Amino acid sequence: MNKVSLDIIGLTYSESSTGAYVLILGDKHSRRRLPIVIGGAEAESISIGIEGTKGNRPLTHDLFLNFANNFNVRIMEVVINRFRDGVYYAMIICQQGPDLVTIDARPSDAIAIAVRVGCAIYAYESVMEEAGIIMDDMDETQPDDQDGEEEYINKVQGRTDLSILNLNELEELLQEAIDDEDYAKAAEIRDEINGRKQ
């Protein structure tokens, strides 16, 4: 089956489901997006994995990786392989010695593991055709389009991963945080900007 290479575009709180988040994956070569509703714990784990934060004790996904590493199992890639009755299914492709092994997983768990090891994330073309949506690419918003710019900033504010934003986007987000007197968010954005300028 044809596989589509995906990036994590954003992670936002779900307005329609209490305590849920929407993970937005994007086709690297088109404007297709794959929105997946996930639980709060999984959203937190994905965010921690992206940021590379280490806690005092391992989370479940860290434990999985520690287990795999101790038994010389290498995580090769994750694939979202089915969409049935509104539910996504995924698999983790692992290698142990010469053997390839496929492990059934929820997409949220598979992606939480993928961001920790830096492996590729894919979806089968059939999943993209059935469940993917075409969205305006936020990164192509024209600077002189005020309405588009405001919508873009609103969408960006929902993102938890600052590392996927460019410096201009970070500067805009910083100004918004200052205007809103959200100084904790402003400090986080400022640290991200300063880290890139070093």
Please write the tens of the pLDDT for every residue from 15-42: 666 778 889 999 999 989 998 989 999 9
SS3 149: helix
pLDDT for 184 equals 60
pLDDT for 147 equals 46
Parallel, antiparallel or unpaired: strands 120-124 and 74-84: parallel
Q: What is the pLDDT of residues 66-116, one digit of tens each?
A: 999 999 999 999 999 999 988 999 999 999 999 999 999 999 999 999 999
pLDDT for 183 equals 64
120 backbone φψ class: left, alpha, beta (φ>0; ψ -120 to 50): beta
Judge whether residue 181 has pLDDT over 90. Answer: no
- The closest of 108, 123, 133 to 49, measured between CA atoms, is 108
Cα–Cα distance, 172 to 106 (Å, whole number)? 35
The pTM assigned to this predicted structure is 0.67
Cα–Cα distance, 20 to 162 (Å, whole number)? 20
Fill in the amino acid letter for 134: I
Give the confidence band of 174 by pLDDT, cuts at 50, 70, 90: confident
Burial class (CB in 10 A: 0-12, 13-18, 19+), 98: exposed
Cα–Cα distance, 154 to 157 (Å, whole number)? 5
- CATH 3.10.690.10 in the chain, residues? 3-134
Domain 3-134, CATH number (from 3.30.930.10, 1.10.600.10, 3.10.690.10, 3.40.630.40): 3.10.690.10
Q: What is the pLDDT of residues 139-168, one digit of tens each?
A: 443 334 444 434 433 443 444 457 667 787
